[in-house]
Amino acid sequence: MKKDTVTFTDNTTGKSIELPVMRGTVGPPVIDISKFYKETGYFTFDPGFMSTASCRSKITYIDGDAGILRYRGYPIEQLAAKSSFIEVAYLMLYGDLPCASELERFTALIRRHTMINESLKSFYQGFYHDAHPMAVMVGVFGSLSAFYHDSLDINNPEHRELAALRMIAKMPTIAAASYKHSTGEPFIYPKNKLGYCGNLLHMMFSVPSEDYQIDPIAERALDLIFILHADHEQNASTSTVRLAGSSSANPFACVSSGITALWGPAHGGANEAVLNMLDEIGDASQIEKYIAKAKDKSDPFRLMGFGHRIYKEYDPRATIIRQMCHEVLTKLGKEDDPLFELAQKLEEVALTDDYFKERSLYPNVDFYSGIIYRVLGIPANMFTVMFAVARTVGWVAQWMEMISDPDQRISRPRQLYEGTSLRDYVSIERRAGCDLGEK
Ligand code: SDX
């Protein structure tokens, strides 16, 4: 029987080795190179991990060429149309859609942990009101490990599950508090009779002095956007969570590292950058100028919300969110929202331009999400916070999967060293040209 291997031949020595091929349920097979250095003396080189599978996973599958995204095998289009964020959270964590009693129990468990330790509230006072909410999130979320000592033992499955529930449950409360701190309004406690997204809207927008009615359109829109953002395979922030988790760091510290990585404008920070870009472009008359800037290698400007490492087709999430924009804006009587019109015109011009077509640059999940957040009254500096709330489910599910993975060991990549070769120490008196004025 044919061996499922590939052959590596070192043409400088003529030596060949067989490398095992591993095949998943669907998607590209992988070459197991775990013994490659030991058997060949070579490291492999893959900055940015363009061709590297870092782990096994059963959570999310993406086919970037076909524009496919599935959570635990379910197409994102079906989950977006039929599921809820809390149900998707259960699916992510436990692998299957819950029956009614399982969903009811899970929902109750999440609701039980929505409050944060009262001492945590004083952490916010250390930040100026103009602190970026993501800076607050990184600081406050990472400090959860200082409070919840009964869910820090990563080798104890009960601790792991309790930590998972706490992180998913407390993220909206921490996020809403970071918003309230920026407005100077009092923090609002969660109301556990509300749904996950309704509670977040309540904690963000209600004030003690007035009744607050949750707009069902806003609640459903947020729930749908959260489903779309819940997980996305081994993206930068999820890989950061896994790498932090590989050192056996506590779960709160690991997810805090994910929040940090997500903040970058090349990643989750793009949704805020898109709104800032649309504001800068201003109107359709400026589109050609900014398209030219995006194509100009000497100009650092990029079309934010465009392009993706994996999707070389339309990001299926962007398709759904764009459709949502039409529906939500129409329902809210804002169908002629100028920024949405500008975004659509920008997309239309870019997708007819050879530069974008040749590089398969399409709108990604961040291109339209900010249009919806803004019309829900969420400020641009909270867009990535919203992304982090939703992605906490994926980070937690991936962290739990990693901790239970028998292949799991500390992640410790190597390098191609291009620095100075061996040299001896030189006393300061003998160092030529050591005139500080010259440095
Ligand atoms: C997310 O990984 C995930 O799954 C992430 C995410 C998730 O759910 O977790 O999907 C969420 O992060 C979405 C991406 C959000 N970021 C942006 O919208 C920022 C703008 N996009 C780019 O910075 C870029 O497209 C990336 C970072 C998304 C992808 O970068 P890659 O895969 O490293 O691609 P690249 O930078 O090598 O670009 C390839 C070519 C280059 O041109 P050439 O050198 O071939 O001439 O395309 C060009 C780039 O200059 N290019 C762009 C561009 N994106 C890529 N040119 C102009 N505008 C852009 N947006």
Give me the DSSP letters along 61-80.
EEETTTTEEEETTEEHHHHH
CA distance 375 to 246: 40
Pocket test for ligand 1, best of 364, 366, 369, 389 (most atoms within 8 A of CB): 364
Q: In the structure, which protein residues have their CB atom closer than 6 angstroms to any atom of ligand 1?
A: 48, 232, 235-236, 266-268, 270, 294, 302-309, 359, 361, 364-366
pTM: 0.96
Give the amino acid at 26: V
356-371 per-residue burial string, b: 16 or more CB within 10 A, e: under 16: beeeebbbbbbbbbbb
Query: Ligand 1 centroid to 369 CA: how many Å?
Result: 17
Q: Identify whether the C-beta of residue 402 lies closer than 8 Å to the C-beta of residue 242.
A: yes
Walk along the chain (439 residues) and give the pLDDT tens digit of each residue: 677 999 999 999 999 999 999 999 999 999 999 999 999 999 999 999 999 999 999 999 999 999 999 999 999 999 999 999 999 999 999 999 999 999 999 999 999 999 999 999 999 999 999 999 999 999 999 999 999 988 888 899 999 999 999 999 999 999 999 999 999 999 999 999 999 999 999 999 999 999 999 999 999 999 999 999 999 999 999 999 999 999 999 999 999 999 999 999 999 999 999 999 999 999 999 999 999 999 999 999 999 999 999 999 899 999 999 999 999 999 999 889 999 999 999 999 999 999 999 999 999 999 999 999 999 999 999 999 999 999 999 999 999 999 999 988 999 999 999 999 999 999 999 998 866 555 4
For residue 263, CA distances in Å to 135, 144, 369, 393 come to 9, 19, 15, 17
What atom of ligand 1 comes closest to residue 236's alpha carbon? 2
Q: Which residues are catalytic?
A: 308, 366
Atom 16 of ligand 1, nearest CA residue: 266
Say how many Å lie between the CA of residue 96 and the centre of ligand 1.
32
Strand-pairing partners, residue 348, are none
Give the ligand 1 atom nearest the CA of 309.
32
